[in-house]
Structure 1
């Protein structure tokens, strides 16, 4: 885990560090895993999408979290491992 430099840690503790809005849409079978993880990070927001009439389960899950810049690469690597079941909405590539 990248904890950043001393200055960014200080800014974060003071509540003055700029965060990046991250949104990822996850699709089955990842939806169950994401929905089970509601307590993994206190500032994440998980919103179930449209319910699939066949399964009775969400057809996708919207995952939102604000992260410091230093965490974007690590988070992106995790998402990319599941790209066949995920779509990165923001930040967009090159942002």
Structure 2
């Protein structure tokens, strides 16, 4: 009887692991798709299309690199400075949540 219970628990654990991996795969796909969508608005995408045409997607950077480029691009376009005017301060507050 003890072996039957062990087998049942292992089967349940296997189902939980399968669901966990399935959810993880869905999250990764969603992040990759969002990264690609963001990349299509950035200068590196325009450069890749100009150089590689329809094969530009083969040169897509990682999601992390896309996020870095997007942050730098927005920072440049918005002319972000550490001493921004008070009306924009909530956009550039310290991530700790405290006012400095």
Which TM class, normalised by the smaller chain length? under 0.3
TM-score (norm 2): 0.23
TM-score (norm 1): 0.24
Between the two structures, name the one with larger relative contact order (CA 8 Å, sep ≥ 6): 1
Structure with the bigger percentage of helix: 2
Structure with the bigger percentage of strand: 1
